[in-house]
Amino acid sequence: MLLAGTKALKDAPYMLSTAEELQKLTVEDMKKLLKTYDQNENNVQFVAEVDGELVGAIEFKSGDKEKISHQGSFAMTVLPEYRNYGIGRALLTTLINWAKNNTRVEKVCLEVMEGNIAAINLYKTMGFVEEGRKTKGVKLEDCYQDLILMAIFV
């Protein structure tokens, strides 16, 4: 999974994590991360495989405090060579269906860089609406990008 994540980040200008950050994760870090899914039934991860190869993933984590546990946010990635084949839509559809069947989760949120037009269009077609912006929320080498906050009630 770590190797697939690193590969996905190499050509992913809109991901918040970098390949270098992912390579710094230790086995213990990964164990702690995986344990969060066991400890909270409102956290979930789905993966997409093609011919046994991990080509995409989406992970959702709900709020960890009682008053915000009805909502959570997700992150998604698809390997560059598998983009534009509907894998992201399939992962997102799976997550939304899971959320609709979860008695606790009412709202699914995300943050997306303003320049990621393809993702923004996907989210809009899936029913997500813009709730706000974090101005200059991401600092790149030579510029900034606003983070658009989007959500859907399930």
Separation between Cα atoms, residue 73 and residue 118, nearest integer Å: 19
- Structure tokens that stand for 79 in this block: 């390997």
pLDDT of residue 1: 44
pLDDT of residue 87: 96
pLDDT of residue 58: 94
Separation between Cα atoms, residue 24 and residue 146, nearest integer Å: 27
pLDDT of residue 93: 98
* DSSP-assigned states of every residue in 46-107: EEEEETTEEEEEEEEEE-SSGGGTTEEEEEEEE-GGGTTSSHHHHHHHHHHHHHHT-SS--E
> Residue 121: which domain range?
2-153
pLDDT of residue 22: 59
- What 3-state DSSP class applies to 26? coil
pLDDT of residue 23: 64
Looking at residue 90, which CATH number applies to its domain? Answer: 3.40.630.30
pLDDT of residue 12: 56
pLDDT of residue 9: 43
Domain count for the chain: 1
Cβ(79)–Cβ(67) below 8 Å: no
pLDDT of residue 28: 76
- Low-confidence residues of the chain, pLDDT below 70? 1-25, 27, 29-31, 33-34, 37-38
